[in-house]
Amino acid sequence: MPRWIAIGTAPGWDDVDKFRDEMSESSKWRPDPRTTITTVTALADGRMLAECHAVEQGLFDAWLEQKGWDVESVTPISHIAQAGSVWEIS
């Protein structure tokens, strides 16, 4: 299944409690049967990275819009190795 990575900002997500509220439920990772958000990473500079598996990019775009992201870019992924959860890193 195709994958994309988005770079942008999400209002309030620099606060780990808000970040956890937004992303801790399984339903937040699976907005519909054809779309799975696999990783969301908060960077120290305030930007966010999100990875998505979906049939088409428009499904990911809709999730980003619903979450209120200010998107810098959405790029297809060609190679990847990772696992995911929500962690606070200090």
The Cα 37–Cα 86 span in angstroms is 13
Give domain status of residue 59, yes or no.
yes
Contact call for residues 37 and 66 (beta carbons, < 8 A): no
Give domain status of residue 66, yes or no.
yes
For residue 21, give its domain range.
3-76
Could you tell me the end-to-end alpha-carbon distance of the chain, in angstroms, rounded to an integer?
Answer: 34
Domain count, the chain: 1
Q: What is the pLDDT of residues 7-17, one digit of tens each?
A: 999 888 888 89
Give domain status of residue 84, yes or no.
no
pLDDT at residue 89 in the model: 44
**Positions of the chain with pLDDT under 50:** 89-90
pLDDT at residue 90 in the model: 43
Give domain status of residue 29, yes or no.
yes
Q: Give the domain CATH number at 62.
A: 3.30.70.3400
Give domain status of residue 90, yes or no.
no
Give domain status of residue 36, yes or no.
yes
